[in-house]
Structure 1
């Protein structure tokens, strides 16, 4: 990364934050979006078309990050801080032990999958990448990611005896 790019990026931080706030209306999420944008911009600055305005390129990255975050939040559900609600903490160890055993069995079963299936499950289910992001990482079409993931989930379920 050259110094001019870094200086321009720093100059545009207030603009990025304003745009992020206009999208999400939450300061803490806006800060996260700006951070994601800067990380992606630094990572991919060599691929940027120099004919395109830096500001437009950064805004597009920020908007895509917002869309990704929104999609991810929709599938995550509502987060609850257990320290705010101690009554929801279980005193029964059986569910915890069962969850640990299932996690250990899942880890073991994943090692018995093909490398392709283990990789797609890791990217989407563990790392939380969207199908589009996984497709970009693997350099395959999004449909290929979806079909590989479906086959990997079925294979994992079969190995775990969950059919």
Structure 2
């Protein structure tokens, strides 16, 4: 079981980061998820990875409801990483990443979760549907709406910047 958990940890951490928006909260969520995985048996006929993602999502929802203050915490990645930025390419990449993260945080939760599972975690529609407990068609429509909102937002931003 521990070896199986080790293999899913990197993807689970990325998922936790996409939910929380910062490294500290993501690591706390990841730790809670692993504790839950180790303390309770995985249901029979259930694969570990989808089960782990579902536990992570449910814990995040619980934490989110209990502490709404943490919803928009620490939007300053350069302080989290502890790196000094000595060239323009790194700063530009950081700003682009921050813009994407902020745009994702403005999406409705249901769309942000689907986008994270499909685009960031590279899960199939079927896997995402199982994790979120919705039909595959719902995953597809939420993903399409999320992508459309992001594209229109970035098109609007780039049009405003060039004016």
> What TM-score, normalized to structure 2?
0.43
Between structure 1 and structure 2, the one with the greater Rg is 1
Normalized per residue, the structure richer in helix is 2
